[in-house]
């Protein structure tokens, strides 16, 4: 195994670990936000105006956090693929020009 192959394997393992722990952090954060929102709603005893505000804020926080993680992960994967030269394989080969039909005598 060459030096580059060993490094590529370590980089892949590192990216897998980062992805797992990043996703774990997002899930734990989303659960924490949900728990705080549920406890907040439970403690308010039916004040509908404040409950709507809490639920809206919780939904916004969860969706923003999840979207940010997925966006950053997508950009990171794309940049890594381009850096490793995988981007050239994904491009469509250029179509060869088709010769115009021969004009025959009619």
- Per-residue b/e over 44-65, b at no fewer than 16 CB within 10 Å? eeeeeeebeebeeebeebbeee
**Banded pLDDT at 94 (limits 50, 70, 90):** low
Whether the predicted pLDDT of 6 surpasses 70: no
CA distances from 82 to 10, 19, 73, 75, 97 (A): 18, 18, 14, 11, 28
Most trustworthy range by pLDDT among 1-5, 34-38, 81-85? 34-38
Mean pLDDT of 68-82: 90
Tell me the pLDDT tens digit for each residue of 13-56: 888 898 899 999 999 999 999 999 999 898 887 788 888 999 99
CA distances from 52 to 27, 34, 61, 66, 71 (A): 23, 14, 14, 21, 28
Least confident of 14-18, 29-33, 68-72, 99-103: 99-103
Query: What is d(CA 37, CA 99) in angstroms, rounded to the nearest whole number?
Result: 67
């Amino acid at each position: 195994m060459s030096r580059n192959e060993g490094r590529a394997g370590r980089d892949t393992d590192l990216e897998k670990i980062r992805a797992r722990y990043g996703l774990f952090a997002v899930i734990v954060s989303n659960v924490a936000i949900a728990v705080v929102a549920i406890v907040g709603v439970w403690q308010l005893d039916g004040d509908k105006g404040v409950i709507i505000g809490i639920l809206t804020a919780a939904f916004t926080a969860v969706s923003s956090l999840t979207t940010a993680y997925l966006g950053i992960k997508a950009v990171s994967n794309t940049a890594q693929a381009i850096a490793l030269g995988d981007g050239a394989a994904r491009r469509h080969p250029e179509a060869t020009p088709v010769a115009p039909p021969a004009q025959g005598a009619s």
